Amino acid sequence: MSLPDPKDLLPHREPFLLIDEIVELEPGAGARARWTLREDMWFFAGHFPGNPITPGVLIVEALAQCGALAAMSLEENRGKLAMFAGIEKVRFRRPVRPGETIELETRLVRQRGPLGFGEGTATVDGQLACSANLSFALVDQSVAEGG
C-alpha cells in the first residue's frame, strides 16, 4: 500500500505545511512522518541570527499535523479541520538545527465526539527533541470560516 501525500489529507500549504513525508499511517490511530529542515526556511533568519534553531512552537505544530494525518485519513473526517483544543506537558530536550530531519510520531489515544487526544514525540537521530500531549477538535470547514 502506498502512502498518501500529506497535501491529500491536510489543508496546510507552504510555508506552514510542516510534514514532508508520511512514513506510516494508521487511520484513526496514529502516524509517523518526517520534516527536513532546510537552511533557507523563513524562520531561521531571525531565530536566531548566527545560531539558527527551529522554534519550539513549530515543532509542536508539526506534531499536531502528524496527528491530524491519522484523524483526517478516516473517511468520516474528510473535509473537516482538526484545530488545536489544548497543548499540555510539552518538553523540549534538544535544539533542532538546519539540515536535520525530525522524525515525528503522534498516537491518538482517545476520541470523544469531535474532541480527540494525542501523544506526540519528535526525535532527531534517535534523540528526543520534543514531547507533548495534544488535544484537538474536529470541526466543519464552514464553522472554521465563521459560517
pTM assigned to the model: 0.95
Q: Examine residue 18 and state whether it is found in any structural domain, yes or no.
A: yes
CATH of the domain at 138: 3.10.129.10
Q: For 4-21, write each residue's pLDDT tens digit.
A: 999 999 999 999 999 999
* 43, part of any domain: yes
Q: Does the residue 1 lie in any domain? A: no
Where residue 147 falls among pLDDT bands split at 50, 70, 90? low
| pLDDT tens track for 66-110 | 999 999 999 999 889 999 999 999 999 999 999 999 999 999 999
The full 3-state SS of the chain, as one line of letters, equals CCCCCHHHHCCCCCCCCCCCEEEEEECCCEEEEEEECCCCCCCCCCCCCCCCCCCHHHHHHHHHHHHHHHHHCCHHHCCEEEEEEEEEEEEECCCCCCCCEEEEEEEEEEEECCEEEEEEEEEECCEEEEEEEEEEEEEEHHHHCCC
47 is catalytic: yes
Which residue in 12, 34, 47, 97 is the catalytic one?
47
